[in-house]
Structure 1
């Protein structure tokens, strides 16, 4: 378990693979994640990258820069509300990340095929069609 914001930053900054991996795989109390977010803004994307990060922290990370929101949009464990929210993000790269997310609900992907950004539309259409086809050929 990661016990402090400073420990997380040290692990994430380490050149040792075992330590670097701990930053991506180990749990930490919500208070530690909040400390990292407030004290070390440049590490916010790496908080989102952690495999154990709770939804509450992912929601908090959506308040920051597009790079951090992109990391959040790439997570598969998002709530329906976060998928919806990020599908309407101001930044087209964040919306593309939602389109590329294998867990984005089909209804949201379908809506995104009408986005104003051509990259968003392209990725949304590609993944919408691929997933509809998979659904049709995969027995329930």
Structure 2
């Protein structure tokens, strides 16, 4: 498997008309330096960094607290995440992120149950409750 060697290469892959290039942008790894360069130099592409399947924990930790809800939403769909990140996202101020997290199959059942009982949003409570019931009845 290839690696992405620079922020500019990552941007070329994302911007390409070739579906294979765009797939590479989402599946190939890069060094921490490359990821941090993309985030620093090209913040409008952070969501694409967040969607990359190989992005390391240090980058996920940074993006999990990003001010842009689109970035946090992209992180909320990833799994597995550390329990600390699941807990942080379960308390996110943005209802859509908490709702998305309820559908994350990696979310521990204990957090999903807590969201179903005590989330401030009825919408999130309903989503979490439905997913909790579904996941506990699948076993």
Which residue is 2:103 aligned to? 100
Which residue is 1:36 aligned to? 38
Find runs of 4+ consecutive structure 1 residues off by over 2 angstroms: none
Q: Does 1:3 align with 2:5?
A: yes
Q: Deviations over 1:32-70 (max 9, x none)?
A: 001111111111111111111111111110221100000
SS of residue matched to 2:17: coil
Q: Distance in 1 between matches of 2:40 and 2:122?
A: 35
Which residue is 1:14 aligned to? 16
Residues matched between the structures, number: 135
User: Which runs of no fewer than 5 residues in structure 2 stay unpaired?
Assistant: none
* TM-score, normalised by the number of residues in structure 1: 0.93
Q: Deviations over 1:50-101 (max 9, x none)?
A: 1111111111102211000000000012111100000000111111111110
